[in-house]
Structure 1
């Protein structure tokens, strides 16, 4: 009888001890940024950017594989072609222009020395809509439904993933110390509308399958979706059940989508499905127009904008999600159209964004990304 009475007491103590251990060892969140044209930065700007990210404790920089020929957002660009300059290469190595990949080789080594990993977006809807190799051949609708387009695009993904780093001598699939994750496309299908996205969810999972097929299941590199236009559109039901997807990426600029109460139900869905969430794009508009539609307007007061940055970052933190800001610039912000950017140089909101990013690193995470960060 004595032994019988002792056992429940011991079990209760063990459960309590386990719970305490979990609380003590709960993972912290993190912050990062986007810079879609990072492959075009000159060395001085790259150093300025990375020093800024490090000072803010930012751990991930999201970059795109595309071409750039002109200055972007006040940043001087060292021009480079798209990976497929003229037409889909479909695995023909002589057709690809690897300049952008080689530029990112250098960038990821530099980033690593500042504690930053790259999240690599392998294509963008923006390029498709601007009649790149795929847009000119298939347009914005058939690209997602034509079987040949999917075959050719998968060949692009395979080529990128197996690019051998010019100085490290290993394919990107093996560079988990430098690469946080891969995603097939930025905001896939957004120009075709929410119904089209809902009806063609398999496109995202099929592309993730191609990526995961090259990475394997133990690469230490995540596979993400690349986001959509807003919170509900970014989290589709079939993606939560797709084995090849590790992380569902949320893009959100509407202020309602940036509240803890709006995000929390999606956190619970992802946790139940065994997936992770990240707010991959968000920003606080420089202008006084609607935050998710601000092509121009009068400048907000610095105090108001800074309060917006701190408030929305805190809301995301309270929901337990890491976030990547759109965007940190290595130069002064020229305040172009749709201006969410914050410049490392001479920007009255930079110290505020630094503060928000540092706070994110102390916030309790709903999902443990620690194994994927430096």
Structure 2
């Protein structure tokens, strides 16, 4: 046996302690694009359920919604942030989210705020009407006006606390400019216009400042490789690159690990921001209708795919946890709290909280 001096042992012990301290647990969360419209009782149902699953982040959107467009959830309808004209703001959705973030905080949950979505643009919102889905990303006037929207959101003063959102790291996990930017234009278009994402991230980061405690996040794309564009790894304003993927090949631990290593080398974090297990027996990334899977099969899919993502060290947000029974509308990945698959998702999220992450998010979580 080799003997060590006391000083050598002390040094070894310090290094070992430092190594252990750097290890951090992963986490899980959910999306709910219409969360702004939830009633107080629905918020209690959602957040208490998420808390029971150890979930730490809820991703929300700012696009107008009504009960007719939700997953069986009766909500307070609200308009989009900009409805009548670009640059004319209706803060209803921001004011509603003021209440949501306070309730979420009581359950140890922060909000990830997506400040616009491709869905709204392509669906003909005011930006779609003025610029369409091409000029919106290409014309300087459009990007300048959209940057004004981002700044308006960041500087919105909480209607109870009186603090601008850009200073509310206790309640806000991160901001992203747009959900799935350019997704309907195709991968070649996204590759050719990678600068749009970095430029918007720079607008957000400059307004937040370098020590805000709030992350600047991309909004994901269609699948793994499309979600992680090369220049986003080198963009100094981007903190987190979001992965959206529903094809089961992208849930492979070995596939994810390749991207983890690339992100770590670039000093970036990854977040599996959207994924789900289809309710039907169709291909998982094409889930509008089909024969209903056996509950045991869907639960097995949920458990296995979540564990593979977790094993790669990437935190994840499920699409979506509902505060009501899932009505099984089209594109059915949702799971309602109390549904037959809820306990499986709950267990998978709790397992993520016990697993080691490849990225240290501890400073951004409650």
Q: TM-score interval w.r.t. the shorter chain?
A: over 0.9
CA distance in 2, matches of 1:328, 1:69: 18
Aligned to 1:46: 43
TM-score, length basis structure 1: 0.94
Query: Structure 1 residue 98 and structure 2 residue 98: aligned?
Result: no
| C-alpha deviation, 1:221, in angstroms | 0.2
| C-alpha contact 1:205 1:245 (8 A) present in aligned 2 | yes
| C-alpha contact 1:70 1:77 (8 A) present in aligned 2 | yes
Aligned to 2:52: 55
**Corresponding residue to 1:109 among 79, 102, 107:** 102
The Cα offsets for residues 102-160 of structure 1, whole Å up to 9 and x where unpaired, read as 00000000000010000000000000000001011111111101110000100000000
Aligned to 2:247: 254
CA distance in 1, matches of 2:335, 2:226: 26
Aligned to 2:190: 197
Aligned to 2:81: 83
**Corresponding residue to 1:67 among 61, 64, 67:** 64
Query: Structure 1 residue 296 and structure 2 residue 293: aligned?
Result: no
| C-alpha deviation, 1:87, in angstroms | 2.1
SS where residue 226 of structure 2 aligns? helix
User: Which 4+ runs in 1 deviate beyond 3 A?
Assistant: 9-13
| C-alpha deviation, 1:180, in angstroms | 0.2
Query: Structure 1 residue 352 and structure 2 residue 344: aligned?
Result: yes
| C-alpha deviation, 1:46, in angstroms | 1.2
Correspondence 1:1-374 to 2 at 5 A:
14-15=11-12, 17-23=14-20, 25-71=22-68, 72-89=70-87, 95-345=88-338, 347-374=339-366
| C-alpha deviation, 1:84, in angstroms | 0.3
CA distance in 1, matches of 2:9, 2:138: 56
CA distance in 2, matches of 1:88, 1:24: 48
SS where residue 361 of structure 1 aligns? helix
| C-alpha contact 1:111 1:117 (8 A) present in aligned 2 | yes
Task: Count residues with an aligned counterpart.
Answer: 363
Q: Which segment is superposed worse, 173-182 or 40-49?
A: 40-49
| C-alpha contact 2:128 2:136 (8 A) present in aligned 1 | yes
CA distance in 1, matches of 2:28, 2:4: 47
* Structure-2 change in CA distance of 1:38 and 1:195 (3 Å): same
| C-alpha contact 1:86 1:132 (8 A) present in aligned 2 | no
- Alpha-carbon RMSD across the aligned residues, in angstroms, is 1.5
CA distance in 2, matches of 1:44, 1:170: 25
| C-alpha contact 1:320 1:365 (8 A) present in aligned 2 | yes
| C-alpha deviation, 1:19, in angstroms | 3.4
CA distance in 2, matches of 1:101, 1:24: 38
| C-alpha contact 1:279 1:321 (8 A) present in aligned 2 | yes
CA distance in 1, matches of 2:42, 2:66: 17
| C-alpha contact 1:120 1:181 (8 A) present in aligned 2 | yes
* Structure-2 change in CA distance of 1:11 and 1:199 (3 Å): farther
| C-alpha deviation, 1:240, in angstroms | 0.4
| C-alpha deviation, 1:367, in angstroms | 0.2
The Cα offsets for residues 153-177 of structure 1, whole Å up to 9 and x where unpaired, read as 0000000000000001110011000
Question: Structure 2: where are the runs of 5+ without partners?
Answer: none
| C-alpha deviation, 1:16, in angstroms | 6.2
CA distance in 2, matches of 1:260, 1:87: 45
| C-alpha contact 2:67 2:73 (8 A) present in aligned 1 | no
